[in-house]
């Protein structure tokens, strides 16, 4: 029987990264960590574990299989990285050539790289080795690192299978297997690859299974991967992420979107911005328009090399760029602090993608802003988003590029809820809030997008 541990933010400790006058003694789950890990946590600026960390760390240290359900931005990566590092530090000897002791599987290159950075941060005082392997870059440095032996391997499914087939990796020494963002892997069509990888890992392994959502398909998949005694940890947020985000939609003609975007960015309060487009060429074109207007920006999408994507993301994180223009390759898994605004230059085709996009702001309990452009051609996309949210996205009508045609085409569409203006909210007939809908996100080319 799966043991269930349920926590909410009201009854669980909160993470604090505020400067402290002196180095405090860590309590709770952090107090169970090795001194070297405690020191690394404190140097990173954390003093109290988040709910997901508080609930997961003790069970992982005890050797239990675990199913963790928590939204991004809750400290999930540290919830498994810290205890895995502690478990591995107790193993004797050196890892064999090409045979990692722990495998962390991630759906995208960006998430894999981010996990690798966290491993480096928390493992700075431990003698553990790790490497990250993903496609889109030359495999030679990855193969060279593997040949020295690594304790922790972080990988995307496609590149991992490639290296296994070439004989550079064997998984029979894996003692801890971590799957992160499993719902994303399911959406992207990677589960057959995951099952192939799983066949090569010893049955006696410890399996840690993390997902932002735990629908029927994800639960069914989990049942095939973890032991019956697995612990389930579900962290319910105090509020849905979207409730911490001030959303609004701006109706605009298709030919005026660039001008509207530049006019919005004249506001200095919009100082760290993530802009989403549907297509790669649109991301490049929008970036060029912004640069012409004197706004420092860069683009990240699947058409760029991994090195270029890493440089763009690093520049955005470090403040060299005010704006990052992205396709949905960046909609999930990336964690950038202090993103003040998300702008949907193009509305997404899938409603769930909208929620993932705007979730790049309002991190760690802070508030954020999300602005969406809507043309007449986008009425079906907006309606799908509002069905999912169960309420309309408030409309801002008082801007220089307002399109009455776009507004009229959307307002006249069936199943529309009516619309509040300037941040107001309105509901359907009889004052009842409409029920949310559902849509599935599918990648057109899953292997290419994540390898």
The CATH number corresponding to 3-236 among 3.90.190.20, 3.40.50.1000, 3.40.30.10, 3.40.50.300 equals 3.40.50.300
414-428 CB burial, b ≥16 within 10 A, e <16: eebbebbeeeeeeeb
- Find the helix or strand (DSSP H, E) in which 131 lies: strand 130-133
How far apart CA 415 and CA 194 sit, in angstroms, is 39
**Residue 358, φ and ψ in degrees, nearest 5:** -70, -15
The structural architecture, per CATH, of the domain 241-424 is: 3-Layer(aba) Sandwich (3.40)
Is 197 in contact with 157 (CB distance < 8 Å)?
Answer: yes
For the beta carbon of residue 196, count every other beta carbon within 10 angstroms.
13
Is the full-model pTM beyond 0.75? no
Angle between helices 76-89 and 35-43 (to 10 degrees): 150
- Name residue 235's beta-bridge partners: 7
Query: Distance between CA 77 and CA 340 in Å, rounded?
Result: 23
How many whole angstroms separate alpha carbon 131 and alpha carbon 112?
10
> Distance (Å, rounded) from C-alpha 17 to C-alpha 45?
5
Domains of the chain by residue range: 3-236, 241-424
Distances (CA, A) of 240 to 341, 363, 388, 422: 18, 12, 13, 21
Whole-number Å distance between alpha carbons of 291 and 213: 38
Q: How far apart are CA 122 and CA 44, in angstroms?
A: 8
Whose CA is closest to 354, among 393, 316, 398, 321?
393
pLDDT in tens, the chain (451 residues): 444 444 433 333 333 344 433 445 788 899 999 999 999 999 888 888 989 999 999 999 999 999 998 876 678 899 999 999 999 999 988 999 999 999 999 988 878 988 998 999 999 999 999 999 998 889 999 999 999 999 999 999 999 999 999 999 999 999 999 999 898 888 788 999 999 999 999 999 999 999 887 888 888 999 999 999 999 999 865 445 577 899 999 999 999 999 999 999 999 999 899 999 988 889 999 999 999 999 999 999 877 877 888 889 889 989 999 999 998 865 555 677 789 999 999 998 777 788 888 888 876 667 889 999 999 888 888 988 888 888 899 999 999 999 998 888 766 544 444 444 443 333 232 333 333 333 322 333 333 334 4
Beta strands at 176-179 and 206-211: parallel, antiparallel or unpaired? parallel
Q: Same CATH topology for 3-236 and 241-424?
A: yes
| Tens of pLDDT, residues 273-302 | 999 998 888 999 999 999 999 999 999 987
Cβ-proximal residues to 443 (8 Å cutoff; 6+ apart), any chain: 187, 188, 189, 449, 450
């Amino acid at each position: 029987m799966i043991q269930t541990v349920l926590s909410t933010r009201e009854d669980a400790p909160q993470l604090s990264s505020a400067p402290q006058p002196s180095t405090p003694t860590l309590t709770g789950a952090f107090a169970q960590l090795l001194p070297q890990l405690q020191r690394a946590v404190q140097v990173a600026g954390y003093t109290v574990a988040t709910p997901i960390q508080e609930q997961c760390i003790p069970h992982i240290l005890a050797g239990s299989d675990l199913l963790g359900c928590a939204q991004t931005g809750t400290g999930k990566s540290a919830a498994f990285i810290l205890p895995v590092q502690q478990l591995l530090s107790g193993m004797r000897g050196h890892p064999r050539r090409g045979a990692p002791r722990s495998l962390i599987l991630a759906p995208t290159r960006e998430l894999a790289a981010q996990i690798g950075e966290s491993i480096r941060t928390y493992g700075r005082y431990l003698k553990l080795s790790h490497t990250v392997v993903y496609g889109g870059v030359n495999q030679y440095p990855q193969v060279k690192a593997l040949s020295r032996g690594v304790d922790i391997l972080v990988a995307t499914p496609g590149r991992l299978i490639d290296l296994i087939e070439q004989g550079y990796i064997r998984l029979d020494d894996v003692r801890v297997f971590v799957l992160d963002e499993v719902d994303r892997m399911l959406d992207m069509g990677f589960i057959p690859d995951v099952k192939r990888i799983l066949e090569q890992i010893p049955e006696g392994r410890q399996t840690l299974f993390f997902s932002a959502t735990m629908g029927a398909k994800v639960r069914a998949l989990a049942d095939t991967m973890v032991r019956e005694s697995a612990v389930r940890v579900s962290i319910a947020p105090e509020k849905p992420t979207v409730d911490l985000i001030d959303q609004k939609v701006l109706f605009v003609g298709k030919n005026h979107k660039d001008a509207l975007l530049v006019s919005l960015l004249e506001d200095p309060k919009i100082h760290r911005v993530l802009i989403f487009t549907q297509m790669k060429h649109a991301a490049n074109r929008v970036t060029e328009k912004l640069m012409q207007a004197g706004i420092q920006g860069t683009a990240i999408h699947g058409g760029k090399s991994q090195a270029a994507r890493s440089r763009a993301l690093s520049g955005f994180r470090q403040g060299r760029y005010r704006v990052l223009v992205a396709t949905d390759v960046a909609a999930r898994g990336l964690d950038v602090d202090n993103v003040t605004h998300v702008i949907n230059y193009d509305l997404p085709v899938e409603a769930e993608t909208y929620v993932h996009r705007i979730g790049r702001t309002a991190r760690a309990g802070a508030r954020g802003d999300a602005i969406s452009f809507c043309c007449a051609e986008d009425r079906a996309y907006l309606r799908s988003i509002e069905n999912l949210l169960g309420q309309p996205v408030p409309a801002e009508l008082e801007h220089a590029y307002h399109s009455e045609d776009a507004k009229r085409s959307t307002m006249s569409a069936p199943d529309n809820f009516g619309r509040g203006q300037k941040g107001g909210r309105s509901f359907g007939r009889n004052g009842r809030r409409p029920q949310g809908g559902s849509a599935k996100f599918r990648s057109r080319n899953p292997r290419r997008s994540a390898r």
